[in-house]
Amino acid sequence: MRAIIFLLMGIAACPAAMSPAVVPFEKEPQKRLTPALSAALDNLVATKQKAAGIPRARPCSDEVFLRRVFLDTIGTLPTREEAVEFLKDKNPTKREALIDRLLERPEFADYWGMKWGDVLRVKSEFPVNLWPNAAQAYDAWIRASLRQNMPYSEFARKLLTADGSNFRNPPVNFLRSAGSREPAALAAAAALTFMGERVANWTPEKRADLAVFFSRVGFKKTGEWKEEIVYFTPPPADGTAPSSARLPDGTLVKIPPESDPREIFAQWLVYSSNSPFAKNAANRIWFWIFGRGIIHEPDDSRPGNPPSNPELLAWLGRQLQSAKYDTKQFLRIILNSDTYQLSPIPPDGKPRSGADLASYPVRRLEGEVLIDAINRITGTKEDYMSMIPEPFTFLPDDMRAIDVPDGSITSSFLELFGRPPRDTGLLAERPVNVTASQRLSLLNSKHILNKINNSRKLKDLVQSAPGQAEAIPLLYLTFLSRYPTSDELAAISAYQPPAASGKRQKLSDVAWALVNSPEFLYRH
C-alpha cells in the first residue's frame, strides 16, 4: 500500500525521474467530494451490489481516468502535454473540471455524431439509399445538433416529424433511412430508435397500430437529381383512412384529418409518462459509456429482457427528464460518479460481465478511434474511399475517421476493425471483439509498420530527449498517457534488437509494442 501512495506522490512531484514500481491502474479509496446527483447514482448501484454480494473494484488512478474520460467523451487520446498537465495538477476537483472541459470540446460532437450516425443509419448507398449529398446533409445536421447541445427531446421530434427536402431539411432523412417507405417500416424504425423496442417482438395488432401514425407520410421526387420531399399527405376524402389509432401504451387517440398523425405519436413519445422514451435514451447513453446497457441490448427492450437494475434505470430516466434532455448535463452525473471512476481490474480477479459494475468494463476501441489515435501519434494520414461515385464528397486530407460523414465512405482498416454497416440501426452492428486478422494488421501490416517506422513526428519526439533512456517516458506518455513502471524500463533496457537493424530500431520496436499492447487497444 505504501508503494501506491509513493507512486502517486512520485508522479505528482517529479515526473520522469521516478518510475513507479507498481501497476499504475488503481489507487486507494479516498474520501472524495462526489457531486450530489452522482453520489445518488452510486448509492443506487451500491444498494444492488450489496444485496447481490458483488465486490467493488478500487478507484482508478488519475492516469486511467484521464485516458478513459478522453476516449469516452471525445473519442480522442490525450496528448502527451495534456497527460503531463493533468497528472501534475494537484487540485482535488481536477477530474470534475476535466469532464466539464471535454464536454465543451468540438470533438465531443464529432465523436457522438459518429455514434448517432450508426443509430440513425447515415449512409448513402445500399441498402439504405440516402444518396451522398443527403447523407452528408443528415450527418452535418446531427453533428450541429450535438454541437449546440440541442435537447434530445427536440432532436427526436425533429427526426420524427420533419417535412421537406432531403437536402434542405436534413432530419427528413430519418424516415428515408428506414429501408422501406412502407408505414410499417417507418414505425419499426421509430420504435427501435426512440423506444428501444424491436417490433418483431410485438403483436401484429400493435405493429399495425403504430403504422397508422406513419400512414400519411408521402415521398416525392423533384426536378433536382436525387432530391426527395417528405411531406404530409392528407387522408382521402372518402373516409377510408382510420380516424383514430392506438398508441403503443394502448391509449386510443383521435386522428383529425388535417393533422399529421406523426405529431400525435411524437407528442406521446416525448411527454407521456407511459412512454419508454427517457429510459431508453438514458440506457443508450449508459451503454455508450459502460459498453453494456442496464437493459441489454439497449435496443431490445421487452418483457423477457428486463433491466439488471430497474431502480437505477428509472432514476436515470428521471434525471434525463429533469435535465430537460440536456445530454451533457446527464453525462456529467455519470462521469463524476464513483461508479464510472472505478479501476478496470476486477476486485476478486474474477472476470465479470459488466452488468454488475464491479469494475470498469474493458473493451476494444472502435476502429475509428484506434486509427485516429495511431494517425495522430505518428502524424500520418489515411485514405478513405467510397464504393460509389460521390460528386458532392470532399474528404480533406487530414480527415479523422470519427468525422467521416457517410457510412458508405470507409477504409480497409475500418472494415477490418468492424465499422458498422449502418444497415439496421442496431447497436450490435458494431463488434468490439478482437480478431486474429486485426492483430495481424497491427502486428505486421505495411500500413501500420510504415506509420510507426517512418513517422517524422515520433522521430522528432525521440530526438527531443537527451538520450534513449529519457525518450522512453516520452513514448509512454504519448501512447499510454502515463509514465513507464520500473519493470517496463528494465525490460526495455534489456531488449536488444538484432545487430543488423539500425540505431533507431530499439525505440521503433518499443513504439510498435505499445501500439500492440492491450492497454493501447482497449479502453480501460
Task: Enumerate long-range contacts of 77-84, CB under 8 Å, 24 or more apart.
Answer: 77/373, 77/376, 77/377, 77/481, 78/481, 79/478, 80/461, 80/474, 80/477, 80/478, 83/477, 83/481, 83/482, 84/15, 84/477
Question: Taking CB under 8 A as the rule, does residue 487 contact another protein?
Answer: yes
Q: Which is nearer to another protein, 91 or 433 (CB)?
A: 433
Cell numbers describing residue 156: 427526436
Question: Taking CB under 8 A as the rule, does residue 117 contact another protein?
Answer: no
Residue of 148, 189, 192, 151 lying closest to 172 (CA atoms): 189
Q: Which is nearer to another protein, 224 or 487 (CB)?
A: 487
Write the single-letter amino acid at 367.
Answer: G
Question: Taking CB under 8 A as the rule, does residue 85 contact another protein?
Answer: no
Q: Which of 45, 416, 458, 474 binds another protein (CB under 8 A)?
A: 416
Question: Taking CB under 8 A as the rule, does residue 501 contact another protein?
Answer: yes
- Kindly tell me the burial class for residue 182, based on how many C-beta atoms sit within 10 Å of its own C-beta (0-12, 13-18, 19 or more): middle
Q: Which is nearer to another protein, 243 or 501 (CB)?
A: 501
Helix/strand/coil (H/E/C) assignment for every residue in 73-106: HHCCCCCHHHHHHHHHCCCCCHHHHHHHHHHCCH
Q: Which of 48, 207, 430, 459 binds another protein (CB under 8 A)?
A: 430
Question: Taking CB under 8 A as the rule, does residue 449 contact another protein?
Answer: yes
Choices 42-50, 170-178, 232-240, 436-444; region in contact with another protein by CB under 8 A: 436-444
Question: How near is the Cβ of 416 to another protein at its closest, in Å?
Answer: 7
With b for 16 or more beta-carbon neighbours within 10 A and e for fewer, the 359-386 pattern comes to bbbbbbbbbbbbbbbbbbbbebebebeb
Other C-beta atoms lying within 10 Å of the C-beta of residue 498:
6
Per-residue binding string, another protein, 171-190, x by CB under 8 A, is --------------------
Q: Which is nearer to another protein, 231 or 522 (CB)?
A: 522
Residue of 334, 247, 346 lying closest to 290 (CA atoms): 334
Other C-beta atoms lying within 10 Å of the C-beta of residue 193:
23
Question: Taking CB under 8 A as the rule, does residue 410 contact another protein?
Answer: yes
Q: Which is nearer to another protein, 262 or 364 (CB)?
A: 364
Question: Taking CB under 8 A as the rule, does residue 350 contact another protein?
Answer: yes
For residue 214, give the 3-state DSSP assignment: coil
Question: Taking CB under 8 A as the rule, does residue 503 contact another protein?
Answer: no
Are residues 313 and 307 in contact, defined by beta-carbon separation less than 8 angstroms?
yes
Q: Which of 16, 162, 362, 465 binds another protein (CB under 8 A)?
A: 362
Q: Which is nearer to another protein, 211 or 515 (CB)?
A: 515
Q: Residue 311 and residue 331: Cα distance in Å, rounded?
A: 18
Maximum Cα–Cα distance across the chain = 89
Question: Taking CB under 8 A as the rule, does residue 365 contact another protein?
Answer: no
Choices 184-192, 243-251, 268-276, 442-450; region in contact with another protein by CB under 8 A: 442-450
Q: Which is nearer to another protein, 216 or 284 (CB)?
A: 284
Q: List, as one string, the DSSP characters of 450-496.
A: HHHHT-HHHHHHHHTSSSHHHHHHHHHHHHHSSPPPHHHHHHHHH--
Per-residue binding string, another protein, 213-252, x by CB under 8 A, is ----------------------------------------
Other C-beta atoms lying within 10 Å of the C-beta of residue 114:
25
Question: How near is the Cβ of 488 to another protein at its closest, in Å?
Answer: 6
Other C-beta atoms lying within 10 Å of the C-beta of residue 408:
25
Q: Which of 437, 464, 486, 493 binds another protein (CB under 8 A)?
A: 437
Question: How near is the Cβ of 9 to another protein at its closest, in Å?
Answer: 20
Cα 484 versus chain centre, distance: 28
Per-residue binding string, another protein, 119-158, x by CB under 8 A, is ------xxx-------------------------------
Q: Can you give the binding site for another protein, defined by CB under 8 A?
A: 23-25, 125-127, 344-346, 349-351, 362-363, 387-388, 410-412, 415-416, 418-421, 423-424, 426, 428-431, 433-441, 443-446, 449, 485, 487-488, 491-492, 495-498, 500-501, 509-510, 512-514, 516-519, 521-522, 524
